[in-house]
A = this chain, B = another copy of it.
């Protein structure tokens, strides 16, 4: 998508150089970072230079390439498995990370030398990244139908969409998950307006509003507390969020606070959709009860970063001695979700429908049982 009119992905190659956008100082500063070794990749994931389940996955893909490079330098095959573990531990909730690293491990095993393994890892990472962008493009094509329907019902009046966190192209490789239908709607000339939850504590909503501003899509930032009131007042037609991990019954872990918006949507009979690529399904989970919920540092609550006199400045907002807790995600029960927007189509919220849309899941589950 666009930054100052120029096309960007959130992760890209320049030759063999791996480049990402360091998202920590967005929306204030647009900074590019090169990831040259495994440690830098782990830091980038853990400290959220890159964030969003699909982008974390893509970055970890290249992390595995750098892991093989490290293994070659140190002449130790073990480093590959160790690195895989370190990468998976960098962020516990996003299942794409685990999926990518495990896929890489499987592929890398096919190489007979470090050189071959390295080539395989690089190619696989590149393929995962391109696939990820393509999946988001397809999510946009399926999701836009929902927006079009509402637009028609409203006789082409503006469709108001609420989103939480950033499931935009910055969180993916391109297009975004929750935002892909929005970008596609704009392309198709549908009148839209987006309510952007600021998404405390990390304020990822500011990334979403930055994306939408770059793309010239009308939008309004709101405090996370506001969505319920807007829904009560008829100012929201549709909710779309992303997801970090979705169980086989459709229970969806996503950024903390998603559950509250889904409750309000249900209470006001507003359709609440979750957009995700198939890699976000966790086939090991029948439901969302046991999805691990990351707890992060309390200082992400107690301090806020912003711009003061052109300088990124951190301010303490809490009483210094009060403590805070910082859960990163919550689980929205399937019963509150109208549908899952995936790269294969829009799916109902039950195991049967999910397995029907993704026959490869059924195959994998049967394989696992036979192993």
Which residues on A are within 8 Å of B, measured CB to CB? 27-28, 196, 198-201, 203, 206, 209-210, 212-213, 219-230, 232, 255-257, 259-261, 263-264, 267, 293, 301-308, 313-319, 321-327, 329-331
Contact = CB atoms under 8 A, between A and B. Distances in A.
A306 B302 CA distance: 10
A179 to B, nearest CB: 15
A260 B301 contact: no
Contact of A220 (B200, B256, B314, B325): B325
A188 to B, nearest CB: 23
Contacts of A307: 315-317
A226 B224 CA distance: 10
Contacts of A210: 319, 322
Contact of A260 (B27, B228, B305): B228
Given A225-B330, A259-B264, A308-B316, 16 more contacts: A201-B223, A206-B317, A206-B319, A209-B318, A209-B319, A213-B322, A221-B325, A222-B324, A224-B224, A229-B293, A232-B259, A232-B331, A304-B317, A306-B315, A308-B313, A308-B315
Given A308-B308, A315-B304, A315-B313, A225 B209 contact: no
Given A222-B301, A232-B259, A317 B325 contact: no
Contacts of A225: 199-200, 224, 255-257, 260, 330
A36 B4 CA distance: 52
A213 B232 CA distance: 35
Contact of A321 (B196, B213, B257, B323): B213
A200 B201 contact: no
A306 B301 CA distance: 12
Nearest to A303: B306
Nearest to A199: B225
7 closest cross-chain pairs (CB), A and B:
A225-B257, A306-B315, A229-B330, A221-B324, A27-B319, A200-B223, A306-B317
A303 B304 CA distance: 10
Contacts of A321: 213
B228 A324 contact: no
Nearest to A263: B263
27 contacts: A27-B318, A27-B322, A200-B225, A203-B317, A206-B317, A209-B318, A219-B322, A220-B325, A221-B323, A221-B324, A222-B325, A222-B326, A223-B301, A223-B326, A225-B255, A228-B257, A229-B256, A229-B327, A260-B260, A260-B261, A260-B263, A260-B264, A263-B263, A305-B317, A308-B313, A308-B316, A313-B313
A316 B324 contact: no
Given A221-B323, A306-B315, A318-B206, A263 B256 contact: no
Contacts of A256: 223, 225-226, 229
Contacts of A324: 220-222
A232 B330 contact: yes
A308 B53 CA distance: 33
A225 B230 CA distance: 16
A228 B330 contact: yes
Contacts of A228: 257, 259-260, 263, 330
